[in-house]
Every structure is written in C-alpha cells, then in structure tokens.
C-alpha cells in the first residue's frame, strides 16, 4: 500500500527536541506553512491542509514546493510506533505455541508485559532492531513493518542471536487513521503482532522434537513387533492348514468313514438327541421313516449316525411345526438351522469339515451348510418342504408343508368368495382349471386395490405350477 497520498504526521522542532505531530493536533491558526512542520522522511517543509468543513476533505500534511515524498507516511508511522512503545513501556504480546510435526504445546498464553526500559535502534550483534525492550534483564526485539517485512537474511541473523523477536505489521493500516487507533493496534491489540522468533518456543520445540522421536521410536518398535507377530501367525496358520488338510483327507477316506459309521451306529440307541426326537415323533430304530435315513454327501461332518441329525432337523423344524401350526406355519431357513446345529451338536461336529474354503483342493466337498441344504431339498422331494428362491443356499428359505392337507390354501383368506371353489379344484388335482381361475382372480383383485388377495393368489399360482409339473410328490400320491 502506498502511503504518499495522505500524510498524517509532521515533524516539528520544539526547543531542543523534535516532536511528531498528528494532523489532528494542528490548531486552526496553524494551517498552511504556519504549522512549522517538516517531512519525517525527507525533511522538506510541510503545509497543514485543514478543511473549512468536515465534508471538504480529510485533514493532512502536504509537501510545499516539492514533489510528494514516497516514504513520508511510512517513516512517520515507523517513528510514531516507536514513540508510542517508548512512552507506554507496556504491550500485550501474543501467546507462544511450539510446534513440531503433529505435536504442539502452548508455552505461554497471551499476556500484557510491562517493560523495565525501552531503547530505540541499538545495535545487537550484527542487527539493529527498531526497538529493544527489557523485562527483568531479558531483551525483546520489536520490529515495526510498514512496507517491507523481515527477509530471510535478517531472520537468520535473528535466529543466530537467539533473542525473541516480535513483529508489528502495520502494512495494512489506512492512512486515514486516528492516533488512538494506532496506539491500540501497537499496545493492546494482537491483530498485527507475530512472533518472528521466540527463544522459549525454540527451547520447547526441542523438547517436542525429543518427544516426537520417542513416539516414532515406540511406533516403529510396535510395528516391528506387529510384523513379527503377523509372520508368526501366518506361519502358525500355514501349519494349521497343513494339519487341517491332513485331517480332512483322513475324514474323507471311505475306509475310515466305515469305521466311524460303525462306531456311531453302536452309540445310536443311547444318543440323547435321537432319544428326544424319536420319542417326539413316536418312532423307533425299527420304524425309522425313509426321509430320516437319507444318504447325504458330506454327512460325516455331523460326527454321528445320520439318523440322529436328520431326526433332529425333521422333528424340530418340520414335525413340530406341522403339529403346532398346521396350515399356518412360517418358512424355515438354512441360516437359522445352521446356527442351532452348531450349538446342539457342539463337541461332536467334525469341525475341519464345517468350513473348507480356506484349504485348497476341497472346494467341491460339501461343508455343513451344503449338507443341511441338501437334506432340506430331499425333504422337499418327500413333500414336506417347498423352497423359496434365494441368492445363496445360506439364505435359502423353505415353507413347511403338511402332506395330508391342501397346504397351498393356508395363505388364501377364507373370506374370499371363491375360496371353496379353489379348494375343491386343489383337492381334485384339477390343475389346469385351477390355473385359469387364479388368472381371472388376479385380474379381479388388483394389487393396488386388494393387495392381500393379490399376493396370496400370486403365491398360490406359483405353487399350482409346481404341483402340476410333478416336481413335488406328496405321500398320499404314493
């Protein structure tokens, strides 16, 4: 910013000293050359330009019979700032914060300091600061910046001296300023004050540096240990997988499975899960239904005779539901059965076969999830379940059916006027007529106006298609 246009200060000799006067301090009768002021920079005579009214123009000094001096205002501000500090002998200084990388610490808060003495432009080493202020014999160098700040060369000198240096930057000051505003900016305000160098900050920065290095050292040590642990765990995992592969190979050996199955068959009669399920279904080893003794690939994962785990699943998820809820049963899921099996058969499952995706070469061997799903699919063939499509077998759902009832009718509201007609067609296996009727009813009961009827009919239509295709065989059809 150029300060030449409005010069607010003039220098006047009073006795043996020179006094820096603001234009507001010039009396009306001292206007023009009668102010007896000279330029603080070039020394040329000044005129005091005082307006007759407030609206005329801003009061100011102007050079008489000479070109405008470019550095007049800059020099005046510089002198006035030093004069104010010398008079006040106090100042509010900014807080001191030490930084090192991502660490920081407030060394001292902002505070007001009263100086013991203030010296102007005294050489300190190879530097001449604008102001040298002392507090308890400790020096503080103060630099007043108007147009040119502290360059790198001067900063290096200050840093080498090791004396705290504060910069007061007045470069954004408007030339039309009030003297009290300038005093406030220099003494009480923090807006224009910056630490160029602070000895206490540098000392604390060294402490932060040491702390940072310790943190980094600890972090590197932790990373080293973590890497060692990772490698160790990887080695252990590889060894476990190798051992697991050997155990899987043994469990999949047909001769070994024959030995296991004989042992399990011997223990079957006293098995608590079998006893509970067989009593609940009123069956014995001599009257085991075909659907509770189905050969399922991978069933060795259960670690027991197939009649135990198949009786458990059929009794808990099919038989009990049909007895309790008849035509109002809800779907069963592979996910829920898997969770319950893991809990109920805890300690007897062959855990190496529960999940084998982590061992190369066994992706085609059925795991526990697959074995459960395959058994449910076989129950579907016997007419006890109906699968609802899912993205993965783990999330597959099956509707529990009662082979002795028209199970599809469970979802049709009985208040529907066509209920009896549909039921008769279903009972008589008149599938083609049933499909045509349902098509008509889907048009009659739109999803928008009759969502309950529409959804039930849509589901029934799918069931009729399945029934008519012969994919589900009911016990009464045998």
What pLDDT does 276 receive?
94
Do 418 and 296 lie in a common domain? Answer: yes
Residue 258 shares a structural domain with residue 189: no
Flag whether 149 is in a domain.
yes
- Domain that includes residue 101, residue range: 77-204
Does residue 161 fall inside a structural domain? yes
Q: How far apart are the first and last CA of the chain?
A: 105
pLDDT score, position 478:
27
Note whether 93 and 45 are same-domain residues.
Answer: no
The reply to whether 374 and 267 lie within a common domain is yes
Q: How many domains does the chain have?
A: 3
Last residue of a domain, one of 163, 179, 204: 204
pLDDT recorded at residue 406: 56
Residue 237 lies in a domain: no
18 and 95, same structural domain?
no
Domain boundary among 204, 222, 239: 204
**Can you tell me the distance from the alpha carbon of 85 to that of 9, in angstroms, rounded to the nearest whole number?**
17
Q: Is residue 221 one of the residues assigned to a domain? A: no
Report the chain (478 residues): mean pLDDT per 10 consecutive residues.
65 86 89 91 89 76 80 82 89 92 90 90 83 90 82 82 89 74 90 89 90 93 93 82 88 94 94 94 87 94 96 90 62 93 94 87 90 94 82 88 62 84 83 89 89 85 69 35
Tell me whether residue 383 is in a domain.
Answer: yes
Residues 258 and 116 in one domain: no
Same domain (yes/no): 137, 196: yes
User: Which positions ≥6 away from 421 have C-beta within 8 Å?
Assistant: 437
- On whether both 382 and 275 belong to a single domain, the answer is yes
Instruction: Indicate whether 63 and 81 sit together in one domain.
Output: no
With respect to residue 405, please indicate whether it lies within any of the assigned structural domains. Answer: yes
Q: Are residues 417 and 299 in the same domain?
A: yes
Q: Are residues 27 and 114 in the same domain?
A: no
Q: Is residue 408 part of a domain?
A: yes
pTM, full prediction: 0.47
Last residue of a domain, one of 54, 70, 86: 70
On whether both 62 and 108 belong to a single domain, the answer is no
Q: Is 216 a member of any domain?
A: no
């Amino acid at each position: 910013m150029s300060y030449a246009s409005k010069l607010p200060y003039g220098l006047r000799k009073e006795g043996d000293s020179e006094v820096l006067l603001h234009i507001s301090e010039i009396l009306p009768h001292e206007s023009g050359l009668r102010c007896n002021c000279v330029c603080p920079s070039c020394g040329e005579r000044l005129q005091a330009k005082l307006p007759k009214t407030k609206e005329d123009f801003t009061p100011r000094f102007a050079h008489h019979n000479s070109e405008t001096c470019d550095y007049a205002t800059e020099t005046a501000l510089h002198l006035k700032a030093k004069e104010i500090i010398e008079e006040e002998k106090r100042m509010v200084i900014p807080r001191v914060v030490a930084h090192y990388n991502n660490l920081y610490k407030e060394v001292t808060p902002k505070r007001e300091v009263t100086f013991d003495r203030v010296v102007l432009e005294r050489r300190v080493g190879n530097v001449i600061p604008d102001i040298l202020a002392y507090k308890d014999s400790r020096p503080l160098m103060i630099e007043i910046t108007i147009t040119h700040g502290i360059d790198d060369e001067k900063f290096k000198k200050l840093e080498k001296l090791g004396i705290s240096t504060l910069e007061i930057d007045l470069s954004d000051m408007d030339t039309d300023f009030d003297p009290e505003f300038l005093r406030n900016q220099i003494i009480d305000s923090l807006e224009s004050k910056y630490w160029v160098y602070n000895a206490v900050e540098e000392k604390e920065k060294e402490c932060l540096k040491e702390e940072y290095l310790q943190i980094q050292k600890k972090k590197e040590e932790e990373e080293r240990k973590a890497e060692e642990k990772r490698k160790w765990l990887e080695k252990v995992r590889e060894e476990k997988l190798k051992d697991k592969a050997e155990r899987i190979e043994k469990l999949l050996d047909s001769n070994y499975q024959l030995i296991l199955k004989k042992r399990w068959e011997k223990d079957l009669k006293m098995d608590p899960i079998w006893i509970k399920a067989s009593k609940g279904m009123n069956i014995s080893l001599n009257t085991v239904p075909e659907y509770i003794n189905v050969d399922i690939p991978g069933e060795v994962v259960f670690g027991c005779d197939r009649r135990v785990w198949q009786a458990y699943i059929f009794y808990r998820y099919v038989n009990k539901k049909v007895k309790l809820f008849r035509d109002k049963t809800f779907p069963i899921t592979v996910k829920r059965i898997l969770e319950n099996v893991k809990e109920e058969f805890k300690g007897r499952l062959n855990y190496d076969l529960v999940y084998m995706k982590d061992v190369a070469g066994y992706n085609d061997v059925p795991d526990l999830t697959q074995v459960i799903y395959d058994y449910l699919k076989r129950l579907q063939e016997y007419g006890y379940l109906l699968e609802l499509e899912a993205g993965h077998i783990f999330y597959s759902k099956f509707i529990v059916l009662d082979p002795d009832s028209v199970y599809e009718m469970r979802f049709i509201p009985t208040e529907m006027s066509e209920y009896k007609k549909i039921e008769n067609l279903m009972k008589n296996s008149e599938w083609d007529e049933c499909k045509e009727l349902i098509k008509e009813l889907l048009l009659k009961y739109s999803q928008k106006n009759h969502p309950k009827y529409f959804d039930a009919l849509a589901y029934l239509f799918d069931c009729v298609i399945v029934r008519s295709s012969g994919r589900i065989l009911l016990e009464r059809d045998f």
